[in-house]
Amino acid sequence: MRSFVDLGLFLAAVALGIGSVLPVVGGIRPTEIPLTALWDGFPTGDLAGVAAADLPLYESLAVPLVVAAVLLLAAALFDSVVAGWAGTLIGLATAVVFWARLFQVHGEYVELNRSTTLTNQNGTVLLLSGTLVALLCCLIALRRTSGSRASLD
């Protein structure tokens, strides 16, 4: 079981790492989305206004996603339940807040233009599937560690 959970966390880390540089909505990559927009909200208007021009990488949405991927990789390599849960929760929180903020302002546009805004958005698929696989692996590890030591055994 340990190798199954480790493999799942490793694959989730790879999915999050790759998904953090691929388009998530309307051809916009997480490296183009300001991290402050999760707190302040996105500007109204066109969906292209979500992306910021000349945004430094350390101020982009990709930062928490890469941190989550690194934590999941560390959890897979070192059998750390805490790192696995931390990576999973960071990835899940980032995805939920991003989509909630996006739908607050641009929800109607995304729903009406679903065929163009959500087509070929591999970043979204990888981010959501990686986060769900990590959550599943952490739940399996939690179930197994209730009577034993806290590791991914």
pTM attached to this predicted model: 0.88
Give the residue ranges of DSSP H helices in 20-120.
36-40, 62-78, 81-112, 114-117
- Please enumerate in sequence order all residues whose Cβ is within 8 A of that of 59, keeping only pairs 6 or more positions apart, or say none: 34, 35, 36
**Location of structure tokens 């959890």:** 75
Would 110 be classed as within a structural domain? yes
Domain containing residue 23:
2-144
Asked if residue 150 belongs to a domain, the reply is no
In a domain, 152, yes or no: no
Q: What is the pLDDT of residues 122-150, one digit of tens each?
A: 999 999 999 999 999 999 987 765 555 55
Question: Which residues, including other chains, have CB under 8 Å from residue 81's CB and lie 6 or more apart?
Answer: 75, 138, 141, 142, 145, 150, 151, 152
153 domain residue, yes or no: no
CB distance 81 to 150 below 8 Å: yes
Number of structural domains the chain divides into: 1
Q: What's the confidence (pLDDT) of residue 1? A: 40
Over residues 52-102, the pLDDT tens digits come to 888 999 999 999 999 999 999 999 999 899 999 999 999 999 999 999 999
Instruction: Indicate whether 10 belongs to any domain.
Output: yes
Q: Which residues contact 108 (CB under 8 A, 6 or more apart)?
A: none
Query: Does 78 fall in a domain?
Result: yes
Confidence (pLDDT) at 95: 93
For residue 55, being part of any structural domain is answered with yes
- Does some domain include residue 65? yes
